[in-house]
Structure 1
Amino acid sequence: MSLPVTYVQVIEVARITPRTARITFRADELDASVGTSPDQQVKLCFPRPGQAAPVLPGPSEDATGWYRAYLAVPEPQRPWMRSFTVRQRRPGTEEVEIDFVLHGDTGPASAWAGRARPGDRLGMVGPSALYASPLSITSAAEAADWVLMAGDESALPAIGTLLAALPEGTRTVVFAEVADRAEEQPLPGPVGATVRWLHRDGAAPGRRLVEAVAAADLPPGAPFAWLAGEASAVRTLRRHLVEERGLPKASIEFSGYWRHRCTQDDAPTAEDLADAREKLAQVQVQVQVRAEAR
């Protein structure tokens, strides 16, 4: 299973909200699978200080081989690597749009995006089918009575692509937590989709989201739930849906995109590792169910 590796160049930078930059990249070579499915993640590689472009190892036939080559790059030259959702591929082009949440110079991705200009170059790895969920939003929505989505601003690109992929008429409820009213942004979706915006206004990340879902009078029936954002908030929401709302774990797709006061370079906690094991087990069950249905 090959893993695409390419350089991408900035061709356009737009502020869609005061704290969100939508950056359009043109790839040297873009895999045909990019932009063909919702909630599709790639890894962007950022240059170290003094580098005009990041140092990239060559492509590999598998994800682990590429990662070994990445780790073999001497640390002072090894690029910082962060995961992002493809917001959109421009039809018929080698161009992709990716949204960046800007939170100052507290991380390499935000610092780079805040100063990005046309001509700047990054590396892009993926997408990889190895990390794609076998449960599509379309099949999940068709099997459920309605769809629940909940996330913070880091999840909005994925939520946007998922909403656009839902069958017309799908009853959908979205809870979206952002810093304040100015961070709200247009989202696509089927007619009748309800989007409830939650403003942190200085509260801890995820607090408004957890409180709103826990207090909500949700529609009747069995939903499919999709949760993403700050890891501890996602964990709390999932526990609430399972233990207090009675949702089966198999009907919840979840991802902790980031951790409050931690970076992706920090070691995972015991709870992070437990989430990863459970997510892997859930994916294995989904694969088995699909195989038996064939």
Structure 2
Amino acid sequence: MPATTPYQLFDMTLKRREQISPSMVNLTFTANDLDMATTFAPDQRVKLFFPPSDEDSASMAARFADGEDWYSAYKNMAPEARPPMRTYTIRAVRPEQKELDIEFVLHGDTGPASRWASRARPGDALSINAPCIHYTGKAIGCEWRPPASIEHLLLVADETALPAVMGIIEELDARFANAPKPRVQALLEVPLKADCRCIPQWIDAVWLPREETRCCHGERLSRAVRTLALKQSSSPSATSSALAIDIDEEILWDVSAPESDDSFYAWIASESRVCLNIRRYLVDELAVPKRQVSAMGYWREGKAHP
């Protein structure tokens, strides 16, 4: 029977952990009903709920099993009992094995997510609000929408968006395995050289570790974009589009709707201010049509982003 809502709450148990690199860990979860979970795109966003204390469990699905408006009930919970909620990307889902993977950036005890991921061991519990496999409506919680006639792709990401980018690259590699490949440029900023990963050789990937540099977060990304040989539009006045956003108070989330015959598409995800600066360069200085640029602030410097 088709689901009427796109997302469903699941109470999961950590099955195994894999240290991908010094700054990244992949956690594989399982649950009896995880065969009901899916993704709509490789950059699928989900909400994770972390235990409010070392002794407690989030158990969101068990709390709201009767189908009530869980979000309103969640917001009305006492602050000390409310499980911290954070946005993450599903790295992989295997319904037949009832498994789901989430990659975490490890940055110490600076937040509930990194703190939990650093200490989690098999058997520990975590709750997730993820897409339901029986939902047949419009896909939500994902922004990867390249045009059908794509010839040139630009992927720009820091480590928080690396799980999404790796999923996108895997999708592209499978899609164009036996077909003419588009030009794909990927600029990927990570904390350490050891965080760089293997990428298919046909992808033009540039890794930008901050290690042993004095660069601020996102600085190497912003500089690298300006070194690319990107074609400038011949009609800048027709395509320039400034965003009305208070970057100190809001998260940048400017999603494109490319036309099917567009040949260029940029997918940008990093710290919000960095994203805005890169978008401004592409849209305002190079006059790339704004419909061809998706810019998502995955986080904001100095602010928690649920």
What TM-score do you get using the length of structure 2 for normalisation? 0.77
Provide, for residues 168-204 of structure 1, a one-character-per-residue CA deviation record: whole Å limited to 9, x for no partner: 112211000011211112345xx62111101223421
Provide, for residues 36-62 of structure 1, a one-character-per-residue CA deviation record: whole Å limited to 9, x for no partner: 531111111000114341142415869
Alignment partner, residue 229 of structure 1 = 270
Mapped to 2, the partners of 1:114 and 1:55 lie a distance apart of: 20
Instruction: Name the SS of the counterpart of 2:148 in structure 1.
Output: helix
Residues 33 and 194 of structure 1, relative CA distance in 2, 3 Å threshold: same
Partner of residue 171 from structure 2, selected from 157, 165, 176: 165
Partner of residue 44 from structure 2, selected from 40, 43, 62: 40
Alignment partner, residue 248 of structure 1 = 289
Q: Quick one: which amino acid aligns to residue 275 of structure 2?
A: V
Superposition map of 1:81-230 within 5 A: 81-90=85-94, 92-127=96-131, 131-133=140-142, 137=145, 140-166=146-172, 167-168=175-176, 169-187=181-199, 192-201=202-211, 202-218=214-230, 222-230=263-271
Mapped to 1, the partners of 2:148 and 2:120 lie a distance apart of: 41
Please tell me whether Structure 1 or Structure 2 has the larger radius of gyration of its CA atoms: 2
Percent of aligned positions with the same letter in both sequences?
Answer: 34
Q: Quick one: which amino acid aligns to residue 216 of structure 2?
A: A
Shift of 1:246: 1.4
Residues 10 and 146 of structure 1, relative CA distance in 2, 3 Å threshold: same
Alignment partner, residue 57 of structure 2 = 53
Provide, for residues 232-259 of structure 1, a one-character-per-residue CA deviation record: whole Å limited to 9, x for no partner: 1111111111011211111111211111
Residue segments in structure 2 that go unaligned for 5+ positions in a row: 133-137, 234-262
Q: Quick one: which amino acid aligns to residue 4 of structure 1?
A: Q
Residues 146 and 112 of structure 1, relative CA distance in 2, 3 Å threshold: same
Instruction: Name the SS of the counterpart of 1:75 in structure 2.
Output: coil
Q: Quick one: which amino acid aligns to residue 287 of structure 2?
A: G
**Does structure 1 retain, via aligned residues, the 8 Å contact 2:52–2:82?**
yes
Instruction: Name the SS of the counterpart of 1:182 in structure 2.
Output: helix
Q: Quick one: which amino acid aligns to residue 248 of structure 1?
A: P
Residue segments in structure 1 that go unaligned for 5+ positions in a row: 266-294
Residues 102 and 136 of structure 1, relative CA distance in 2, 3 Å threshold: closer
Mapped to 1, the partners of 2:298 and 2:144 lie a distance apart of: 19
Instruction: Name the SS of the counterpart of 2:164 in structure 1.
Output: helix
Instruction: Name the SS of the counterpart of 2:96 in structure 1.
Output: coil
Mapped to 1, the partners of 2:111 and 2:276 lie a distance apart of: 23
Bigger CA drift: 149-158 or 88-97?
88-97
Higher helix share: 1
Mapped to 1, the partners of 2:232 and 2:140 lie a distance apart of: 32
Shift of 1:207: 0.5
Tell me: higher relative CO, structure 1 or 2? Use CA pairs within 8 A at least 6 residues apart.
2
**Does structure 2 retain, via aligned residues, the 8 Å contact 1:4–1:59?**
no
**Does structure 1 retain, via aligned residues, the 8 Å contact 2:14–2:125?**
yes
Instruction: Name the SS of the counterpart of 2:34 in structure 1.
Output: coil
Q: Which runs of 4+ in 1 moved over 4 A?
A: 59-62, 219-222
**Does structure 2 retain, via aligned residues, the 8 Å contact 1:55–1:77?**
no
* 1:76 and 2:80 correspond: yes
Mapped to 1, the partners of 2:232 and 2:183 lie a distance apart of: 11
Q: Quick one: which amino acid aligns to residue 231 of structure 1?
A: S
Mapped to 1, the partners of 2:217 and 2:152 lie a distance apart of: 26
Alignment partner, residue 277 of structure 1 = none
**Does structure 2 retain, via aligned residues, the 8 Å contact 1:151–1:229?**
yes
Residues 70 and 198 of structure 1, relative CA distance in 2, 3 Å threshold: same
